[in-house]
Amino acid sequence: MENIILRCENLDKKIRKKQILKNVSVELYEGDILGFIGPNGAGKTTTIKLILGLQGITSGKVEINGYDVEKNFEKAIKQVGAIVENPDLYMYLTGFQNLKLISNLYKNVDNNRINEVVKLVGLENRINDKVSKYSLGMRQRLGIAQAILHKPNLLILDEPTNGLDPEGIKEVRELLLKLAKEEKMAIFISSHNLAELDNFCNKICIIKNGQIIETNTISELKKETQIPEYIIEVDNTKKIKTLIQNAELIDKNYFKIAIQKENIPFIVKQLVNNDISIYSICEESLTLEDAFIKKTGGNVIE
């Protein structure tokens, strides 16, 4: 059976009389990559701060590897690595020197472990260059290297792809997949980049107005929120709107329709009976962003 690495149970957070979080519950198992998403102001950063013990919990609890964050903070946080916003790096030092400084904070992190982590994040060819010469993607990988020096089994990242170009995003994505698979690390990611989360998360947790409204696998979330849409290619779409009322014209040869699969033969029959040639029928896949917007009632992530 998989080990539960992180358990948040009925978390409430109040600041004065304002309720920031209400009954927030999340579980994360080893090897999971969970995307934590929601509109701005929904409570994502507050949740991360409660997990890391950076703010007090009004009620509820956080357990990491079975240890209560409030009652046994040192043991709970011992196997946690985190980057909140941007990694703290000394630009005038080399990558290796940055890691060496961080290693002094931990017991049993020697040069062998530093070299192991450098290889893991793919910086072995540039680790002795000054960080000022690194691309944003390389700096983010160095930041993750700092966060995993002490062999944590939980990695918490707040907007890890912010400001990165497509190549930098790809570098971070491949690294996180590697950490989850090879190191069995549980990874908790708060991000606005839904297209990217769609590529590598196996679970999604949606928070809205301080409350969890959905926790599921991405595939199940899409199934729940999707009315299947099909793009149909024909010789001409002039007659389509008069034949099929809910059709959405794309151009002179393509139209889109939201319909259950079992009703497609009826549409095909209508088109054929009206001398319209059909060249292709393709189901349009729902994106994570589409599912998010449907689930939250139209809230848009800025």
Average the pLDDT over 172-190 and give the result.
90
CB 51 within 8 A of CB 36: no
CA atoms within 13 A on the CB side of 215: 12
- CATH 3.30.70 intervals, the chain: 227-285
For tokens 């309720």, the residue is 19
Task: State the DSSP string of 7-29.
Answer: EEEEEEEEETTEEEEEEEEEEEE
String of b and e for 106-136 (b: at least 16 CB within 10 Å)? eeebeeebbeebbebbebeebbeeebeebeb
Residue 125 has pLDDT above 80, yes or no: yes
Q: Please give the C-alpha separations between residue 2 and each of 32, 66, 238, in angstroms, as whole numbers.
A: 10, 14, 56
290 vs 159 pLDDT, higher one: 159
At residue 63, the pLDDT reads: 95
Tell me the CATH class for 4-219: alpha beta
What is the β-pairing status of strands 59-64 and 4-15? antiparallel
Strand, coil or helix: what is 299?
coil
List all residues 6 or more positions away from 97 whose beta carbon is below 8 Å from its beta carbon: 90
Q: Please give the C-alpha separations between residue 93 and each of 13, 65, 100, 130, 150, in angstroms, as whole numbers.
A: 40, 35, 10, 5, 21
DSSP 290: H
CB 187 within 8 A of CB 203: no
CB 270 within 8 A of CB 247: no
In CATH, what number does 227-285 get?
3.30.70
Average the pLDDT over 89-96 and give the result.
94
Share of the chain above pLDDT 70, in %: 95
At residue 225, the pLDDT reads: 61
At residue 301, the pLDDT reads: 45
- CATH 3.40.50.300 intervals, the chain: 4-219
Average the pLDDT over 135-156 and give the result.
91
List all residues 6 or more positions away from 91 whose beta carbon is below 8 Å from its beta carbon: 130, 131, 132
**pTM, two decimal places:** 0.78
